[in-house]
Every structure is written in structure tokens, then in C-alpha cells.
Amino acid sequence: MSRKTRLDPDMRAASGYVLALGAVSTALAVRLMLIGLLAYQGPFLPFVLAVMITATFGGRGPGLLATTISLLAVWYFFLPIANSFVLKNPADVMNLVTFFVVGSGITLLSDRMREALRVATRTEETNRALLESASQGIVSTSGDGRIINVNAMAERMFGYTREELIGKPLVTLLPETRQTARAATAAGSEVQHTHLLMDRVGQRRDGSSFPVEVNLSSAHTADGTASIAFVTDISERKQAEEAMRNQANMLNLAHDPIFAWQPGGRIYYWNRGATALYGFTPEEAMGRISHELLKSVLPFPEKELESRLEAEGSWIGEIVHTAKDGSSVIVESRMILYTGPKGDRTVLETNRDITGRKAAAEEIRLLNEDLERRVRVRTAELQAANTELEAFAYSVSHDLRAPLRGIDGWSMALLEDYEGQLDERALGYLHRVRGEAQRLGGLIDDLLQLSRVTRMQIRSQAVDVSALAGQLADRLRELHPGRRLQFTIQPSLSAKGDPRLVEVVLTNLLENAVKFTGTRPEGVIEVGGSEDGAARIFFVRDNGVGFDMAYASSLFGVFQRLHKASEFPGTGIGLATVQRIVHRHGGRTWAESADGQGATFYFALPV
């Protein structure tokens, strides 16, 4: 169907009438030229031809026009009397009428035929276009099984051109259709069969094959079974199915239990993880109601679950399940409500076994509880012990000293009031009683101080050690007016500590230095210090009797004395107090000496 002949309607109508005039003119000219040969015999024949041509190609209107003009032309030119509209023979009237009827008839018949042809052409065009545009490949065969037509999709699908395929048997494309066709033939009596052939193989021109689904319709004809095959390439669908199968396999491999159930709880998927955790095989689990099978204990009534899923689309929480062997399993569950393309609903439940984790957490909680309880008990015990110690120290402070004062006081009274009546020995004994009482008093004081520094709350601040040592040195010089004492104090020594306690430390060390230099003509005492990164180290050095380093480790113990009381009186508590204070500040103490060559006592306090 070429576009060139398709003129617009006005042009086409006009050209029809031009054709009518042309055809009739031609017929007239030819007939006039033959006038010598034919005279006036059979004048109508060329005009009938002109009308036929005009009607065939020009249609109804031009055909009728040609008929009319032809009738007038014959009447005027060829019927006697010629060259006038006067008719000589009455029979010619009949001839003219007959011509008009025949011309009109030809015109009308021709028009009908044109119309029918046009409709047929258009129908076939439409059919062809539809077939060409179909998304399925369409292959039609004649009765002998040979291909008579294919559409564009079939060409593309199989890699052939239409011309190559026409005349080839259908099995070239669909090797498996042979049996089907035969079976269809055997089935016989029915005129038409339609077979849906699923999962078949299509064969391309290059020899490769691909999965197809074929809808094959066959009909018995005179020369065998003709058929038309609608072929769908299902490669993509197959791949999607394969992918889904792989995914299902992967789900099955997952360690976590995964299963799916329909609304109402009926299980229809159950992976290996679920079998491993709960002990039910897929056969035992499929078709059962999930919460009945696993005796689910949710944080809320079980029947609320589906409405929650409906509202939220998913749910995450802890569930207690019961496995096949009756043991309890705690899982962290994730459920997702999935609505399929057809509105079918599925809940996918993925669980994680947290029984062990919960048990461990519970154990930790219990251990912590126990620990806290024990700490509370210990703290209470410690507090009780501290309270007791305080009460003890208070009692010592008050009650032990009072009788001592009495012993001393009444010995004194005896000495004062009865001095004349007592001999020297009695007076000596009384002095000893007083001496012992005062020594015990000193001991009690030292013990109280040790106890106090142990209990005292430390309030750290910067302490000017040099200034403090200077004051203490002055006090010691006053206390020992008969001694020659030389103090050398390094300036700008400072420590971080409780000033009350640092004073106790320095007092003890300096008193010791004064005491143990008592046998020297001059006591030379040095106070110094240095910094060692995290700590400041202080020392008190003397030129006294020193001590044997073999006993250095017991130097700071309570009641540990390295010298005879007759030589150097003391309670053996002073250095213990020093060490206790330094330890409470997070520091340490040590000492160096060689017997007879003085001693150096060190203490280090954190910066």
C-alpha cells in the first residue's frame, strides 16, 4: 500500500471526474476517427469501455457522469439524424435507455467491489500489524507442518528472518512439538485443540536453546493439521525462579531460626536453624500453629500479636519458646508482616537464641548483687570496727590516763607530805613510780596519735616544708637548751599533704634526729628534698649513732626498737606513725644508715 496514491478526498473526487471526462473524450475521439470505417454501426461499444474504466478507478460519481456524457455524445454524434439530438428511429430511444441502465449498473457494481476490497485490505493490514506488535512470537504452520508465517517477535526470538523460516518445519524452532502434534492428530475427532506447553526448549538459529512456554493451537484441515504457536521466552522468569530458589536455600542455611507463617499462625516454611534450635523437623513443624507448637510466651497476650503486626508492619521483642525436648529457649524475635502482590499475607519470623546471653547476664546480676551485699556487710563490719576503735581510743584517752594521773599525783603527795619520814630508797622507789607513770602516759599519747592519724580524714594542700622544719627546729632547740644543735634546712621545700600530718612526720623525724645525736658533741641535722617525676622526696639526715641496715626493714614497725631503752628512751611508735601517715598520702618511707655513722630517713609524697 503506497502512500503516493493516497490523495486527499477532494483531490481524489476531482481526479475521478477528470478521468470521466478524459475517458469519454478519448472514446468519442476514437469513435469519430473510425467513422469512415464503421459508419454509424454499434456506436456504444467504446463508451461502455470508458464507463467501465471510469467506474473502476473513479468510483460511483464519475462513473455516472461518464455514463451520462457518453449517452449524450452517442445521441448527438452517432444516432440518426447525426450531429443533432433529433432521433430518426424510435428503436434508438430504447438503445439509449438500455445504455444508461447498463452504464449505471456497471458503475454501481464496480463501486461495491471497490468498497469490499478496501475493507478486506484494511482488515488484513490491521491483523498483520497486531501480529507484528504481539509480545509473543507467533508461528503458523500449514497442514503439512511447514511454517507459512512468523511475526517480528518470532524472528527476533529465534534469530531467523521471515524468509528463512517460511517452508521449514515447526520442529526446527520447537524440537519438542513433534510428539504433541502427533498426539493431537491421534486425538482426532475434535476439530480444534489448544495445548499449553510449559517448560519447553526453543532452538535459535545459532544452535543455542532457551526456555519457552508455547500455546499451540491446531486445527484439522484437508491436508493435515495446521497450527499456530504462540511462543513466550521465559528465560527471565526462569532466572527469577532460580534466584528465589537460591534465596530459599540460603535462608535454609542461615544459623538463626527462620520460619514463616500465615495469619492464624500456620507454619509453611521452617529452616534448618529452626530445626537446630527447637528440635522439630520441617515435616513436624509445617502446617502446625506456630505459638501452639512452640508454646510462645510473649510480653503481651498472644492474640494481640497479629493486630500489632497489622498496625506496625513488624515487631521486635523477646519470646520464651519451648523446644521439642521441653527445654525453655529465650529468643530475640523479629517478625515482619509481608503482603504479597495478590494480597496474601505472611509473617516472616527470624529469631536469635539469647538463652545463654540471658543466663550470663542473670549470673552477672546475681554475682553483682552478692558482691554488693558482701561489700555492704564488710563495710558495716568495717564501720563497726572503726566505731569500736574510736570508742576504744576515746576510752584510752580518758580512762587510762586518769589513774596514771592519780598514781603520779599521790606519789607526788607522798613525796611532798612525808619526805622527812622516808629514807633514800623509799624516795627512789617513789621517783621510779612517777617515772613509770609518766612513761606510760607518753606511750598512751603516742598510741593515740598513731590511732588518730589512721582514722583522720586527710585534707591535702600545699605545705611549706622548709618553714615548718624551721619552726620545729626552733622548738627543739628550746626543749634542749643544754644541747649543741645545728640545723641545715634547704629553702623552698614544699609538699602536697595534710599540714597537721606532715607536721607529725617532721616532728617525729626531727625528734629522733635530736635524740640519736645525743651522744655527739654537736648534733648536725639536715633537712632536704628533691623531685622525682611523680613524687617529691624529702629526707632528714643526722650525724647520730645510726642503725644496722640489717634491721632496716623492721624500723617502721610498731614497738620496733633498735636501741636499748637505757641508751635512747622511746616508745617505738614514732616511725610507725610516720610510715602510716606517708602511706595514707600514697607515698613511701625508707632509711639508710651505717652503724655509728648517722642515718638518713626519707619519705616521698606524690606531687
Partner 1 sequence: MSNNEILLVEDNPSDIDLTMRAFTKSRILNKVILAEDGQEALDYIFGTGPHTGRDPANFPALTLLDLKLPKVSGLEVLRRIRADERTRRMPIVVLTSSTEEQDRADGYDHGVNSYIRKPVDFKQFVAVLEQLGMYWLLLNEAPPRHTESS
Site residues (vs partner 1, CB under 8 A): 393-394, 397-399, 401-406, 408-413, 434, 437-438, 441, 448, 452, 456
Shortest CB 438 distance to partner 1, Å: 6
Residue 47 grid coordinates: 463508451
Q: How far is the CB of 470 from partner 1 (least distance, A)?
A: 25
Q: How many CA atoms within 13 Å lie on the side-chain side of 171?
A: 10
Q: In the complex, what is the shortest distance from the CB of residue 407 to partner 1, in angstroms, rounded to a whole number?
A: 9
Distance CA 56, CA 113 (A): 9
Helix (H, G, I), strand (E, B) or coil at 432: helix
Give me the least distance between CB of 449 and partner 1, in Å please. 9
Question: Is the CB of residue 528 less than 8 Å from the CB of residue 541?
Answer: yes
Which one, 82 or 404, has the nearer CB to partner 1? 404
What is the rounded CA–CA span in Å between residue 213 and residue 228? 14
Contacts 24+ apart (CB under 8 A), 574-580: 574/446, 574/508, 574/511, 574/512, 575/508, 575/512, 575/601, 576/450, 577/446, 577/449, 577/450, 577/453, 577/504, 577/505, 577/508, 578/504, 578/505, 578/508, 578/509, 578/603, 580/450, 580/453, 580/454
Read off the C-alpha cell for 362. Answer: 542473670
Nearest approach, Cβ of 498 to partner 1 (angstroms)? 12
- How many Cα neighbours within 13 Å face the side chain of 526? 11
| Closer CB to partner 1, 409 or 428, in the complex | 409
Instruction: Look at the chain and count its residues.
Output: 607
Q: How far is the CB of 485 from partner 1 (least distance, A)?
A: 25
* Least CB distance to partner 1 at residue 535 (A): 28
Which residue type, as a one-letter code, is found at position 186? A
Phi and psi at residue 463, to the nearest 5° = -120, 130
Q: Which residue has the cell 485443540?
A: 193
Q: Identify any residues that bridge with 592 across adjacent strands, giving them in sequence order.
A: 600
Min dist. Cβ of residue 499 to partner 1 (A)? 14
- Measured from the CB atom, the residue of 111 and 408 that comes closer to partner 1 is 408
Tally of helices (H runs) and strands (E runs) in the chain? 19, 17
Set of cell numbers at residue 39: 459508419
CB of 568 to partner 1, least distance (A): 21
Residue 30: what residue type? V
∠ Cα 315 319 324 (to 5°) = 130
Backbone angles phi and psi of 108, in degrees to 5: -65, -45
Query: Among residues 418 and 551, whose Cβ is nearest to partner 1?
Result: 418
Beta carbon nearer to partner 1, 393 or 549: 393
- Whether residue 573 is preceded by a cis peptide bond, meaning omega within 30 degrees of 0, is no
Nearer to partner 1, 146 or 401 (CB): 401
The amino acid sitting at 283 is E
Sequence-ordered strand ranges (E) for 298-416: 314-322, 328-339, 345-353
At what angle are helices 424-455 and 355-395 packed, to 10 degrees? 150
Nearer to partner 1, 142 or 397 (CB): 397
Those residues whose C-beta lies under 8 Å from the C-beta of residue 573, and which sit 6 or more positions away, are 443, 446, 447, 449, 450, 558, 559
- Measured from the CB atom, is 198 or 402 closer to partner 1? 402
- Least Å from the CB of residue 406 to partner 1: 4
Minimum distance from residue 433 beta carbon to partner 1 (Å): 12
| Burial degree of 3 (CB within 10 A; 0-12, 13-18, 19+) | exposed
- As measured in angstroms, the least distance from the Cβ of 543 to partner 1 is 32
Task: Rank residues 15 and 397 by Cβ distance to partner 1 and give the closer one.
Answer: 397
What are the E-state strand segments in 105-240? 137-141, 147-150, 192-203, 209-221, 224-233
Shortest separation between residue 413's beta carbon and partner 1, angstroms: 7
Evaluate whether 280 touches 274 at the Cβ level (below 8 Å). Answer: yes
Task: Kindly state the smallest distance separating residue 297's Cβ from partner 1, in Å.
Answer: 59
